[in-house]
Structure 1
C-alpha cells in the first residue's frame, strides 16, 4: 500500500538527489557529482552585516542569497562577497553562475559585473514585482 509520509527536508532532498542522479547516469551517461556548498559571512566585530551562500553542482554555481545590512551598503562589501563566490565557482570548475533577484533589489548591481538577464517572471513572489534570473559565463 502506498502512503504519503512527512520526512525532514534534508532526508527528502538526499533521496530526491539520489533518484535524479540515477536517472542522469542512465539517460545521459554522465556520472553524478556531489553538490558543493559555499557560505561566507561578513562581520563588523560581533555584528553580522551580511553574507552570501551558493551551491555548485556539475558545471554551474547558483548564488542562493546575497545581502548586506543597509548601513553598510555602497562600501564595496557586496562586491567583495560576489567576487569571493565567483572565485569559488571558478576554482571548483563551474562554467557559469546563476542568481535571481527582484526588481527592487540588485538587478543593476549584478549587471554591472557581467550578469545578463535570461528570464523574468512578473508578479512574483507577489503582485507588482518582477523576479529576474541572471547568468554569467566564467
Structure 2
C-alpha cells in the first residue's frame, strides 16, 4: 500500500505534521498525571499519557494503544479537551482527549517514574510539561463536575 500522505509531503517538500495524542484519564473527579523518566530535560516533569499517532491510525486508536503500552490499561476515548498545542518548533501538535478506564486493571508506571491522581485543587501541585499546561487549565471544571 502506498502512503499517499508521505508521498505528497515528499513531492511538496513539506514534512508531514506529527500528531501526538494525550489522555486526560478521569476517575472519581481526579485526573491521572505521569512523571517523565526521559529524555533528561523532561525528567521529573508531568504529562498526560500518550504518544505519536502512527501512519494509518486514528487519534483514538493511537491513544488506546499508547495507554496499553505505557500504563497497561484499556481506555475509552471521549471528547477532545482544548486546542492543538504546538510541539517541536511547529513540527508536531499535541491533542488531548478526555478518557475513562475500562476494566479492573489499575494503571502501572511502565514507562514513567511515577503516577498521581490529581483532584481539581491539586492540579498545580506538580510541574507540568509546557504543552500540557493549557490543557491543565481547562481541567478544573471537568474534574469538579466529575466529583459530584
Q: Same fold (TM over 0.5)?
A: no
TM-score tier by shorter-chain length is: under 0.3
The two structures have a TM-score, normalised by structure 1, of 0.25
Which structure has the bigger radius of gyration?
1
